Amino acid sequence: MDSPGLIDLQVNGYAGVDFNDAALDAAALDHALEAMLRSGVTTCLPTLITAPESVLAERLAALDHAVATSGLGPAMVPGFHLEGPFLNPAPGFAGCHPPNAMVPPDPALLRRLTAALARPVLILTLAPEQSGGVALARAARAQGMLVAIGHSAADASVLAQAAEAGAALSTHLGNALPRMMAKFRNPLVAHLAEDRLAASFIADGIHIPPPALKVMLRAKGLDRAVLITDATAAAATQPGVYCFAGMPIEHSENGAVHVPGGTRLAGSALCLDQAVRNIANWGFASPADAVRLASTNPAALLAPALAAHGLRLTEGRIRWSATLVPENVRLDRAG
């Protein structure tokens, strides 16, 4: 089976490299991108998480420069995903993001963070229930960003307002939620019920138990579902301790990535081709549809943001073996 290359819309690091490192350089980025290419990923959006403004600006500048001066960056990285700092700091919603660095939605801050970048922020994840959140969703959409909702306690009414303002995606749906919630009137059910929102899922069997993921995929439908990794530097590596946005994370033998000494997940060690295999092997989709969740679906979702910035995806093709292992990855660098 032949398919377009895989597209990872949310990846914090890979192969021992942390994209949130202000010391990131072109050589380190190329090392990570080469490893991603071997897994069939031909396009990705390096993702930066919540940090104080000065730190986030420094990290964005380093990432932007690394992409521009690397060998594979110009072909594989059309832009970035900014996950925060406009999130909900309440326990259970913050996840591993530092709550004390979260700030109210602020269009001026977003402009300051992005003004000097050579490559655009293509996805902004925010919590629309925060004061000014819906207005920021509208402003970000007007700036050509794909607006996503995550680390959020938004109810159905707020989600409807955000969707009306241009939000189009639920970020890693099923995660960054409190362990105890109301049975039906909760953010997860609200996201599943909002038909204007596509949803991204971390299909590693750790973030979402497979039976729960099966139900979520049925609720959203395969046309509105996207596979992501939320990978960290622990992806495509051996178990051990790695760095993620200035904090230590532990890649365990069972594949989970935690803050050391606790049970709180901190991104993943998932590779996108494995997510595709999982969906097919669990019987949630045909092999062709499983590939679609990580290729043509994210491409279609990202297309308006790319077009707003005069960009297009660099063509990449994969030939898959019978066991859904990518091989003969080709990457054309035109455009």
The alpha carbon dihedral of 305, 129, 224, 229 has a sign of positive
pLDDT at 325: 84
Q: What is the CATH number of the domain that holds 299?
A: 3.20.20.140
Cis ω for the linkage preceding 85 (within 30 of 0)? yes
Report yes or no on whether pTM surpasses 0.85. yes
Span 10-56, pLDDT tens digits: 999 999 999 999 999 999 999 999 999 999 999 999 999 999 999 99
Span 121-142, pLDDT tens digits: 999 999 999 999 999 999 999 9
pLDDT (average), residues 201-223: 98
Q: Tokens in use for 207? A: 């973030």
pLDDT at 332: 58
Residue from 223, 230, 273, 332 carrying the catalytic annotation:
230
Question: Please, what is the average pLDDT of the chain?
Answer: 95
CA-derived radius of gyration, the chain: 18
pLDDT classification of 68: cutoffs 50, 70, 90: very high
Query: Active-site residue 25, yes or no?
Result: no
pLDDT (average), residues 172-199: 94
Range of the domain at 279: 2-331
Span 144-162, pLDDT tens digits: 999 999 999 999 999 999 9
Angle between helices 107-114 and 133-142 (to 10 degrees): 40
- Please give the Cα distance from 161 to 211 (Å, whole number): 30
- Per the CB < 8 A criterion, the answer to whether 2 and 317 are in contact is yes
At 280, give phi and psi (nearest 5°).
Answer: -70, -45
**pLDDT beyond 90 at 198:** yes
Domain count, the chain: 1
